[in-house]
Amino acid sequence: MGGLGERSGVIPLYFHFVRGYNRGMVGSKHIIFLVFAVLLAACSSHGGWDDTGAVVLSGAGVSGSPFADITEPYFMLTDAYRVPFEDFCVDLGNPSGGKFCVSIKPNGRYCEPWPEDDGEEKKIYKHEPGYGPWSPVDANNRFVFFSDSQSGGPFRVGACERGTLKEYTIIETDATVVLYYAVDQEHFVLDVNTNDSDTSFLYYINLNTGDLKTVSIGEYRYQHPKLSYPFLAMTKNDYDIFHIYNLETGTMVAVEGLQGSFGPAAVFKNNTLLVDAAIGYGEESTDQIDGPLEGPNIFKIDPATGVFEPVVVTVGRYNSASHIDAGRWALFTTGRNSQYVGTFTSAGDDVYLLDMKTKRETLISSSRYGNNCAIVLEYPYVGWTYSGDPSTYIGVHFIQNVETGEIWKFIGQGCDSDAILYHRMLYYTVDLNGVIAAKLPALPLYPDDDSFCDDGNPCTDDRYFVTGRRCLNEPNRDQCDDGDLGTPFDFCHEGICTGYRTEPDSVKEIVLSNNLFMDQYEVTQERYRKCVDAGVCNPPARTDSFTREHYWDDPAYNNYPVIYVTYFDAKKYCAWRGKRLPNLMEARSHANPYDYDRENDPRLGDTAEVGSYDKDYDSLGVYDLAANVAEWTSGRFTYHFSNHPKLDFGEQLVMVSSGSWYRESQPPPTTPWSTNSDLGFRCVRDAK
């Protein structure tokens, strides 16, 4: 394995996404200045510019380029660009003066060669003395882009051309402006805000036709554009309401009900828009929302209509979207088990990979302490930076192939510097040193449509196995219907829908006033393990608890409530026992403890043995209603629980009941495929 990259078979997995933008850790001086050049995709042909700025079209590619095997087509240039390109400058009309200029031409310097061996990393660009990066590194089919800036001085965006290694100057400005850009393979939008104005100026370029025009969207400051043509998503007035502009029709849609920021936690790919946001109530929303859904959580927005749906919502814990690939794989970080230690509040955050088709979460990396950031995704590769010292967030960058478990680690990177994965290359900045490129084993990209892998069997999870270049149809343990009324409980076993008899348990039940039997205690780990051993239930998503590194796999906690179980497995366990989950009314009608003194209970901080909380029971003898863990119910979250008519998500959001060791109040709803360190369940049985 060449270069600085080190391949490791066994290393701790740590992961977190940069949440500085979302937690107020980043001030105005950190706002992204990076500007994608006007007419930049003219560089997307197989040719380039000569040293005079004239466009030179070459053949099928550049010999020796590490991207020669990329089959994605480049774009042909129109005749309008086959001429020497002079500097294009825009006077911003700023009272303080200043302009920005586009100058797409080689500057006479050269970048360093790209790495050639798998796992090798090289510095391809070094910042000039006194300069450093202000913006994330970015890439397209032909260039890797970077920024140079001095404090209070000039600002420049440059690029390294793959293959030729020529360094280009893209943007130069001496103005005090906020510049944002958004680009896809055929279109580009530049958003310019001056510090003396609350108005945005949008410049839209069609990269195929060469059309350049100004887009008028009203006298507001729109920021952080995300583009998936024809839709341009933005936030109005910085951290405010999401808006989606249709570049073809000129219409604007306001996403009423959500509030957040299209910073690094928003992704827009293949018309799939993921954001982390809080529930708001329209234009009157404020920065902090105390509503039925605490934030931030992750939502998916339909760009054509503005209708949104939950993707990841957990009980009172923040979640941040980060990356999406092929419309199926979403990578996110969550504080559902965060310890909140050290200088930064990112300690202990976890990263999960969500299969948006099967709605299954996979824990990729967990850190109980330290700082984690700068996550990237290009399936099957995921990456993150980890620092084991809570007082700093400069750490080692890891890349993992989630299909094979192979791991590579690279030199340190700061949490305030974004990284990207593009066509199996990792690009990132390291403090003031420059731009690093690291090569990963060449693999095909995940297909945008993988329906050719669907075998039509509800008892298998179907996906494309990128590393093996074949389809996988893996058996699952979902509930199903075998069509036989004589088998009341059916579930998938070894890829076949199989009917079973129920397995009643001997747990003590309480007779409720409505002729309903309710389990006296929450389902324990010992009881749930029997369902796992029978091949019916899936094991918990993780084996630790909030403060204990070993929980599920430690017999000392057999009589403690099971946690990290999805709604689907909780429902399946109860059905296996000939029972069901309580509905919301049943759960909450008996959720008031008799005389529990929460303020003076020293054990709050993690789960406890069931029934051990003093006086945490109701008059009928149902225990653990205010402490221990919150509990799944069969209730669905609808607009009846909120002040907003759009918040009716059907089976995508499930109500949760009772307090827990983490929170005293009734918890908010949760996506049924998510799990948590303070969420368990109990069962009820209808009286015959």
pLDDT per position as a tens digit, 372-397: 677 889 999 998 877 776 566 677 88
E strand residue ranges, 505-640:
509-511, 516-519, 630-636
Residue 552 lies in a domain: yes
Go through the chain and tell me how many residues it has.
Answer: 688
Measured distance CA(664)–CA(419) in Å, rounded: 39
What the block records as the tokens of 663 is 């929170």
Is 448 domain-assigned?
no
Residue 413: the pLDDT is 62
- The answer to whether the CB of 198 falls within 8 A of the CB of 33 is no
Q: What backbone torsions phi and psi does residue 118 show, to the nearest 5 degrees? A: -60, 130
How many independent structural domains does the chain possess? 1
Tell me, what's the pLDDT at 615? Answer: 83
Side-chain-side CA neighbours of 119 within 13 Å: the count stands at: 14
Give the span between the Cα atoms of 41 and 183, in whole angstroms: 9
pLDDT of residue 93: 56
Contact 55, 47 (CB under 8 A): yes
Residue 635: give its domain's CATH number.
3.90.1580.10
Please calculate the CA angle 592-598-600 and round it to the nearest 5 degrees. Answer: 155
Q: In Å, how far are 24, 223, 255 from 236, measured between CA atoms?
A: 17, 6, 11
Query: Three-state SS for 341?
Result: coil
Residue 591 lies in a domain: yes
Helices (H), 444-596: 525-533, 567-576, 584-588
Residues with Cβ < 8 Å from 433, sequence gap 6 or more?
A: 123, 126, 127
Count CA within 13 A, CB hemisphere, residue 242: 35
3-class DSSP assignment, residue 48: strand
Amino acid at 635: G
DSSP for 369-416, please give it: SSEEEEEEEETTEEEEEEES-TT--EEEEEEEETTT--EEEEEEEETT
Is residue 86 a part of any domain in this protein?
Answer: no
Q: Which residues contact 320 (CB under 8 A, 6 or more apart)?
A: 17, 19, 22, 265, 276, 296, 298, 332, 333, 334
Using alpha carbons, list the distances in angstroms from residue 350 to 132, 605, 675. Answer: 30, 19, 12
CA separation for the pair 44, 47 (Å, rounded) = 8
What's this model's pTM, rounded to 2 decimal places?
Answer: 0.80
Provide the H-helix boundaries in 555-625: 567-576, 584-588
Scanning the structure block, which residue is given the tokens 């009980």?
315
Q: Is residue 680 part of a domain?
A: yes
What sign for the dihedral angle of Cα 476, 477, 481, 487? positive
CA of 406: how far to CAs of 9, 361, 644, in Å?
6, 20, 46
Low-confidence residues of the chain, pLDDT below 50? 1-86, 96, 264, 281-292, 341-346
Residue 41, φ and ψ in degrees, nearest 5: -70, 0
C-alpha distances (whole Å) from 374 to each of 339, 415, 599 are 19, 6, 39
- Report the DSSP pairing between strands 425-429 and 435-439: antiparallel
Question: Within 10 Å of residue 512's Cβ, how many Cβ atoms?
Answer: 18
- 584: containing domain: 507-688
Element (H, E) at 21: helix 20-23
DSSP reduced 3-state for 525? helix
Asked if residue 585 is part of any domain, the answer here is yes
Residue 593 within a domain: yes
Q: Is 630 exposed, middle or buried (0-12, 13-18, 19+ CB in 10 A)?
A: buried
Question: Three-state DSSP class for 53?
Answer: coil
Q: What is the CA radius of gyration of the chain?
A: 27
DSSP state of 42: G
Q: Rounded to 5 degrees, what angle do the CA atoms 591, 558, 313 make?
A: 50
Q: How many Cβ atoms from other residues are within 10 Å of residue 589's Cβ?
A: 16
For residues 272 and 300, give the distance between their C-alpha atoms in angstroms, rounded to a whole number.
7
- CA-nearest of 130, 168, 138, 172 to 155 is 172
**Residue 606 is assigned to a structural domain of this protein:** yes
Q: What is the pLDDT of residue 285?
A: 39
Q: Are 396 and 408 in contact (CB under 8 A)?
A: no
How far, CA to CA in Å, does 529 sit from each of 328, 466, 569, 577? 31, 33, 12, 13
Other beta carbons within 10 Å of 129: 6
- Give the integer Cα–Cα distance in Å for 283 and 406: 47
Give Cα 542 distance to the centre of its chain: 19
In angstroms, the CA 2 to CA 666 distance is 55
Provide the 10 A C-beta neighbour count for residue 91: 10
- For residue 452, give the 3-state DSSP assignment: helix
**How many CA atoms, within 13 angstroms, populate the side-chain half-sphere of residue 309?**
13
